[in-house]
Structure 1
Amino acid sequence: MKSDNDNKDYFFLQNNSECTKLIRNFNWETTPLGSPEKWPVSLRSTLAMMLSSQFPMFVWWGEELIQFYNDAYRQSLGDNGKHPLAIGQRGEDCWPEIWDFVYPKIRKVLDEGESFWYDDLLLPIFRNGKLEDVYWTFSYSPLYGDDGAISGVMVICNETTEKISDKRRLGDDKNELEFAVEAAELGTWDLNPETGAFTANARLKEWFGLKPEETIPLPLATSVIAEKDRERVNSAISKALQSQSGGHYDIEYKIIHPITGNERIVKAKGKALFNDEGIAKRFNGTLQDISEERKNQELFRSIIEQAPVATSLFAGKDMVIEVANDIMLGYWGVDVSAIGKPLAEAIPELIGQPFLQILDDVYTTGITYTDKAAPVRLVLNESPSTYYFDFTYKALKDARGKIYGVMNMSVDVTEQVLLQKHAEEIQRQVLESFEQSPVGIATMDSDNLVYRTANPFYGQLVGRSPEALIGKPMFEAIPEINGQGFDILINDVIATGIPFIAKEVVVSIRRNEQSEKIYVDLTYQPRRNASGKITGILIVAIDVTQQVLSRHVIEDAQLALKSTVDLAKLATWNLDLPSGIFSYSDRFRNWLGLPNEISSIEAFYQILSKKDSENLKHAIASILNPESESLSVFEYEITNQTTGQKRIVSANAQIFYDADGEPEHISGTAQNVTKERKLQEELKFLVKERTLELESVNHNLELSNHELQQFAYVASHDLQEPVRKISVFIEMLEATLNSVDPKAKNYIDKIKSSSGRMSNLIRDVLSLSQLSNVIPVFERVDLGQITNETLTELELVIEQKGATVNVSGLVPIDAIPLQMSQLFGNLISNALKYSRTGIAPEISITGKILSAKEIKFSPGNHSNWLQVEFKDNGIGFDQQYAEKIFNIFQRLHAKQDFAGTGIGLAICRKIVQNHNGFINAQSVENEGAVFTVTLPMHQL
């Protein structure tokens, strides 16, 4: 094995490419070639040129056809195949799969010196662990030894597998485009503005009632447009054909099939193209049936072709053409006479273009230059034109490392570039035609279901931009659809080749950061290559969510209406105005007692009384009056024609109009209101009778209330004196007794306590009775001042309990000052009294102004209200007693636990009622209570 440092044998190898290293490290003593120092000079020169080239090259040498290749060719060998064993290997051992084909060609070159060329030839080779179909464009040329005899074969090649695949895929994409147009159910049209000839696809012709092969004048095509739309459409066409309009055409109108009379609402979109003089040369576009929904078509993508390899060698500073193969000479449009001339002299049109300067830079610096699809102006057959090339300029060095020339290897990609521009133009036209049609289109590979294309409408449908989808597997791009079965459907299409087409498919999707359920009309169409193998899926999805939801709403409404009609025992009827046909439900027919339906409204009039018949005619005439309400209610009496039973019927009528605004029919319901009308008559009598009774009762009740109030006042007032005497005498008794035993002392304390409670009770009853007798005198009262005065009176209790009181939002209102003091005093005292043991009371009194709209159950016509909340952290109470606590003598706690008479909150409610307000309480046991008082700010 030779060492990398042994330059004696490998002086002709001037780079460190992968293949160069393999050649250096190979044990050539085991081959017929022997040590590299014994190799012919011609072989060394050939290998030096090949290994420095950026284009694929391959050499067979000697009778054993020992192999050499460069790094550019190594790429075509793939992985897990022939590389690196092919270096130094015999050709027959390396290529058993194609040897029967290539060996006769090699033999012909070796024996006869004949060169030949193959273009896009299929030669399967073993690479990447399997036998693959590979297409090649290549040449076989003889290599001469030092003695002038043919000693080997030079292969200059380019793998064109991708080019062939792209051509086939372009054809597939054309078919897919046609399918997408068909799947979107669009009509297409083309108008020649110069001749007026109108052509269209089969679908649009079927809509217009035209023969499939027919080309017709434009007026004949527009004759199927509804008369009311025709002038507007003709005006829009004329405008689009004027250059100042930009050629845009976008309009909706109705067409009427000339044979069947079927009507269809369509949306037309088009674009006129103009020449340099502003004259319309072409006018085409699409027609979409929007009677059901809008549709769109697909996004188109094309692939670029590649061209063969051309090779030349320029020597010296003047870039003298030293070597150029026939392909390169063909590119330049010259013959072999150009060899030996400077490049600028042989190809003068290159002067002024960047290539001569680039060659000079490569020659000077030794830095390789590569470009893709570079435009070059060349003169071929005396005709100047622009061509496009992928090319590499690489400096060549002699044995001493000095640059002596530049190698140029080029691939003509003109066809690819022009095809790409053509495809982009087609794509632009397609996108213009379908840019407003709501059809989502995408494609994905059959392997791993990776998205390859997606138009903006598909992106909107799934809530992602097209860029976020392309290049990702389906479940990575749209994870929320995993588990919904779409992968199963797609894989079934791939396995069977049968398209999947379904309407209103339910999809759970995430859009705008929210989960949604949508409905789509969905198509999965298999995509095939030229050999018929399924390579992917075309997806066409149309969002029909609104259509489905609207239908569901209608269906639910119809079901609800039917249920309502049945539950309400309603009859339904319909009057067709043009024909006069009168139809109705079974319930109505049973009311009439008829075996069959009446066929006309006139026949129905005959079974009514003359009065009801005239009233019904008048009611219908009133409905038909354009100035009247479209919904009317009227009553009439019907007689059962079999039993003679009479019914009073209340009918509701609604008028409906056609598309032209003309009355079309009247529909409505009828209800048997016989019982209701009889009850109404009876009630009128009873109401009159009860009214007289109530007037008498109310008078007596007022007298009783007045007497009761007087009694409560007198009773409580007269009881005060005995209670005061009990208190005075017990104090005098206690003072006269110098000492008493504990038992007597206990009795005296109980008498004092009872008399005290009795005094408080009488005082509270007196206060409550006075609240009813007082004549209200309202004045402006500052509630903030009332609160401060109350807190001052309770200052000692507040200090003893360590309480904190926060007050805010209290404003002046119209009120009775003394009653406001009582109200605030009672509520604040309660909050202090009912505090929890060991917890300092926290009381907040908060006012807030509310409008009448915010007071849902407000009495009177007050515009503004003040709502005051008294909130504490005390013992609270069970919410079930929230109303009970406002009743007189109601207590929730034992009197030994909390002192009181049970009248305080009853007084609060009476005060609030006197002010036309209301009070309520909210509480949870051991979590405090909130008393809310709402008072009008101004008394009326």
Structure 2
Amino acid sequence: MDHQNDDLFKAFLQKTHVGLVLKKEALSFSIYVAGDNYLKITGLNREALIGKDIFDVEKDIFPSNILEVLERVLMYKSEAEISPFLLTPAHHSKSLYISIHISPVIDHDGGVEYLLYTVKDIDQEIRFANDRANRNYFMDLIEQAPVGMGILKGRDLVIESANNRMLELWGKNKSVLNMPMAIALPELEGQPFLRLLEDVYTWGEAMVGNEAKAFILRNGKLETAYFNYAYQPIKDKKGHTTGIMMIATEVTPLVLVKQKLEESVSSFRSVVMNAHYSLLVLKGKHWIAEIANQRLLDLWNKKKEEVIGLPLLQILPELVGQPFLEYLKTVYETGKPYGQEEEVFYFNTANGIGKKYVSFFYDPMIDTQGRVYGVIVGAEDITARVESRHKVERAEEMLRIAIESANLGTWHYDPLSKRLTVSPRLKELFGYKSNEEMTYDTVITQVTEEYREVVQKAIQSSVIKGEHFDLEFSIKGHYDQQLRWMRATGRIYRDKEGIPVRFSGILLDITEHKQDEIRKNDFIAMVSHELKTPLTSLKAYVQLLSSKAKASGDIQAMNSLSKADGQVNKMNNMIKSFLDLSRLEAGKINLEKQHFGLNELIAEVIEEITLTDRTHNISTGNSQKVMVFADREKIGQVINNLIGNAIKYSPQGKIVEVLCKEVNGETLVSVRDEGIGIPKDDIGLLFDRFYRVESRKFKTISGFGIGLYLSAEIIKRHEGQIWVESEEGKGSTFYFSLPHKDLIL
């Protein structure tokens, strides 16, 4: 071939799909022609190839066995194929797959001088085939996986694939494939899983869950199941989420076993242990600590490296001689769980031996052959609770001793079950034998008839409203029917939800004290009654003399007799107060309720007072017209007393304001003065019997401390309230209210 034809031949070959034309040399092959297609695929230039031995050009552009293949083609004058071959082009680092076809060029003499080396880019085909093979392999793995696995595609969470195990967990078949999760499993609506999947797809972050509760429709029945699950986002090359891989394992049997174990312990231990407990897993006969949570490390006052992987006795040598080792040994030998609600635990500290109280349980770990290979230890530090209980027990013991020394009876009443528990002393006070039962109904029956309803209402108010129970009443002995007087104090106790659970208190025999009071009241009543007759006669004589003095114009005598009449009236009022007090404490005051206008009564009381005392300006202000249903005489007595005190304890010429109105469904009466006021420390005692404020300002003002006590008792019997607001030097305002149920408007 002449030079011109040779150039034409080379130019022609360069434009064809022939990659290279190799020429046989003595021991190797040289590159005779390099085609454009080959240069494009490999990224090499023609000058770096033409005329070069194949072993002198850039490394790795030929397969490692190229010489062997070329010699075979030359020898047998047959074509050869090398596919695939992974080539790394010079113009970038990414490798690609090519196929190589080698064919001999036979001349007219039957010899071979040139070989055609043709390459083809098959990278996409190979990688697609590899991806398909990998995907098929991956899908086979998913299908054979012992856990539920599936793949969701797109924002609609379409089920692209789900292995048999996942379909079994869902209670579905392959008909759900290519359906959105919300449609395939409609029972998930209202449960958190669809929202969690949407979050994984939106944020591209994996999510795992353990022992998650789910309601799954299986065989036409909605079942409760528990799952451990993992949601892993599937992303494209740009990092965008295109789907989600789901992995799920049903742990319902494990959870149910755990629940059954928790139910088997006491309610207290169940609540405490499930909420706060230390956890330790011991393995083998040497009790190696395999797992220990932070709570247990805190309980032992140890660091993690001082516990994990070490034998128990190396961690806590001080356990020798304590009962825990024997308990563990028994669990290992018998395979039966063991626990204690309270046990003392001694441990070493830098300052010597420390002491804690613990609640604990040991649960054996049993293999398939029934052998114990480890123990799960759960424990809780209950030191603070135990020490607090001991403190309460000591206090209760001291209280019990004090109560017994004071001859007090105690009771505990359950409002729900109506079960009554009483002390031996209380049985004795009610006339029962120590071995006899007392019930709430029999106790109420023993209360005398005049106090029975009062006691029942007081108990009801304490249970429902939480009011303090403090009452004096009489009872009759169970056997001897002897009358006894009792004073009972108590209160209601509620649980965290506010439900009454216990009504408890003490009972004191005040018979002797009450009899002394009765005798005293009888004496006061008798003396007061006897004094009324001479006072009545004295008042008549004073009035007669006053008439004669007026007729004769003896002004001095008239003034003297007027003052004498005032003192007689004051004595009458005092005797009336003593009589009312004796009747009240004897339980002989009865309410005679009627309908009347409260404004009219107030006006009458003011008019009566101003007949004898015009030293103050008494105003009714902006009072409302109110009708009440009450004892008119006794309410008038209360109003009279409050206005009288306002006049007594305020300077002449000052205003006394009396108001009545409706507030929050109650009738409210107030009496305000501009007097000397009441010391703060005395306000809470004003309504006690015979209480008088000890102050120089009050010493010159007469009184026995009866009026406010009687007023408070009258209002109390009307089921109302009475109180005072006062500031020294600025005056006082006394209030009383009558409940709505007594109002007829």
TM-score bracket for this pair, using the shorter chain length: 0.3 to 0.5
Higher relative contact order, structure no. (Cα contacts within 8 Å, ≥ 6 residues apart): 1
Q: TM-score, normalised by structure 1?
A: 0.31
